[in-house]
A and B are shown apart, each in its own frame.
Chain A
C-alpha cells in the first residue's frame, strides 16, 4: 500500500515550502512524523528547492552592470562616450554575423545626457515643472515629458508636412507594440523619441544630434543611433504615412 496517496504531492510540496495554513500544517506534520515515505517525499521537495536556490544564489553577489542602474547615478563623463560606446558595440556585433543586433542600449545614459544638456542650454531648454519656458520637464521621479512648443508640435505637426516656423522637426511616427504611438523629433541640437502617455508626451530617449566631426546636424538629418534603436525596440509594423498620421492626430494620438 502506498500510504503517500493520502496526501497528494501538491500538499506535501506546499508543506515543504511552508505554504500550508493551520490546521492543515499540523495535520500533515503529524502524518509526516508517522510515515517515513511521506517524510522522504517532503525531504525531496526541500532538497530540490535548496539545490535550485543555490544554483542561482551567486548572481546576487555579482556587481550590477552600470547600464542597468537608473540614470541619476550615471557619471556625466559617461555621456560623452555615448556614441563611441554604441558604435563599438555595433562593430563587435557586425564582426560576429550569427549574433543578433544589440538588443538594447543604455537609455539611462541618454537620460543623463538630458540633464547635461539642460545645464548647457539653460532654462530655455530644460526646465522644472513650475516654469513656463522650456521644451521638456522632469517630474520628481526623473521621468521626462514634452512641454511648451515641443508638446504642441508633437500633437499637431505632421512628419510629412513640416512647419517652417516651428523649431521642432518630426522624424517618423509609428504605432508601438504595446498599443500606443511614438514619434521621433529633433529640436535644436537634440533629438529624441516621444511616446504618447495619457494626455502628455513622455520622452524615453533624448540624445545629442552631433556628427562625427562634432558639428550639429541639420535638424532634419539622420537621427542619433540611440533614437533609432529605441524606435526599433518599439515599432509595430511600418512607420506611418501622412494619411495615418492625420487619422491619429484627429484621435488625439490614442488607440
Chain B
C-alpha cells in the first residue's frame, strides 16, 4: 500500500526538508504538504520507479510553488535544537554540526537543494538530477559550485571564531 511506503520514507523526507528550510516547523509543514500531494496524486507515480525520488520531487515542487512563500519571513538560522545532542558526543562535534547547518542556511536555494539530495540524503547523481529535472552535467557543476560555496562559508566561520 502506497501510504505505508510513503510513511516509511518520512524520516528521510524530514531530513531533506530540514536541509532546505531552517525551522523544524517549516520543514514539517513542507513534508506534510508533500505527503498530501503524493497521496492525492498517487496515480502519477509509476510502479517500478523510485518512490523516494518521486517524493523528493514533490517536496521540491511544494517548496517552490507553495511553502516557500509562507515560511517565516525572518527566516534566519536559529539553532533551536541546541543542547539536544550534547552529552552523546563531544562539544566539538556538536558545534561542528551547528556550523554546517548555519553555513547551509546561507547558501542559495539551488545549492541547498543539491546538497540536501546528494550529501545529506546520499542520492546518486543520476537520481538527484532526475529530482531536480536537470541534466547530469548541470547537476555535477551545480554540486561542485555548491560545495565550493559551502566550504568557503565554513572556512570564513572558522576564521571568525
Contacts and interface: CB of A to CB of B under 8 A. Distances in A.
Are A and B bound to each other? yes
A13 to B, nearest CB: 5
A143 B81 CA distance: 36
Interface residues of B, number: 59
A132 interface: no
Interface residues of A, number: 50
A73 interface: yes
Given A13-B147, A55-B101, A143 B40 contact: yes
A250 interface: no
Given A9-B144, A59-B15, A64-B10, A70 B28 contact: no
A100 B21 CA distance: 15
Nearest to B61: A178
Contacts of B74: 98
B150 A52 contact: yes
Contacts, number: 130
Interface string A57-82: 11110101101111111000000000
B32 interface: yes
Given A103-B67, A177-B65, A52 B1 contact: no
A204 B40 contact: yes
Contacts of A51: 96, 100, 154
Contact of B140 (A13, A103, A106): A13
Contact residues of B: prevailing secondary structure: helix
A69 B6 CA distance: 9
Contacts of B40: 143, 195, 197, 202, 204
A72 B28 contact: no
Given A45-B147, A70-B3, A17 B31 contact: no
A107 B36 CA distance: 8
Given A48-B147, A55-B100, A177-B66, A19 B1 contact: no
Given A45-B147, A100-B72, A68 B100 contact: no
B97 A17 contact: no
A86 interface: no
A161 B144 CA distance: 59
A140 interface: yes
A73 B18 CA distance: 24
B131 to A, nearest CB: 16
B113 interface: no
**Nearest 7 Cβ contacts at the A-B interface:** A55-B100, A70-B3, A59-B15, A103-B29, A52-B119, A55-B97, A60-B11
Interface of A: 9-10, 13-14, 17, 19, 44-45, 48-49, 51-60, 62, 64-65, 67-73, 98-101, 103-104, 106-107, 140-143, 177-178, 195, 197-198, 202, 204, 233
Interface of B: 1-4, 6-7, 10-12, 14-15, 18-19, 26, 28-29, 31-33, 35-36, 39-40, 42-43, 65-67, 70-74, 81, 84-85, 93, 96-98, 100-101, 104, 115, 118-120, 122, 124-125, 140-141, 143-144, 147-148, 150-151, 154
14 contacts: A14-B125, A48-B151, A52-B150, A67-B28, A68-B14, A69-B10, A103-B29, A104-B32, A106-B32, A107-B36, A141-B2, A143-B39, A178-B65, A202-B40
